[in-house]
Amino acid sequence: SLLQSTLQCFFNQS
């Protein structure tokens, strides 16, 4: 099954 990832998995906190 597919899970919805969040953006923090890809982009850094700045």
Partner 1 sequence: ARLLHGSIFAKVIEGLRELVNEATWECSGNGITLQAMDSSHVALVSLVMRSEGFESYRCDRNMSLGISLVSMSKVLKTMGKDDSLTIRVNDDSDSIIIAMESQNQDKFADYELRLMDLDSEHLGIPDTDYSCAIKMPSSEFSRICRDMSIMGDSVLICTTKEGVKFSAKGDLGQGSIRLVQTTNIEKEEEAVIIEMKEAVALTFAVRYLSMFCKAAPLSPQVGLSLSEDTPLMCEFKIAEMGHVRFYLAPKIED
Query: Please, what is the minimum distance in Å from the beta carbon of residue 14 to partner 1?
Result: 4
- In terms of C-beta distances under 8 Å and separation of at least 24 residues, what long-range contacts does 8-12 make, across chains too? none
Query: Please, what is the minimum distance in Å from the beta carbon of residue 8 to partner 1?
Result: 6
Report phi then psi at 9, rounded to 5.
Answer: -70, -20
Span 1-14, contacts to partner 1 by CB under 8 A = 1-14
Query: Please, what is the minimum distance in Å from the beta carbon of residue 9 to partner 1?
Result: 7
> CA geometry: angle at 6 spanning 14 and 12, to 5°?
20
Residues in contact with partner 1 by CB under 8 A are 1-14
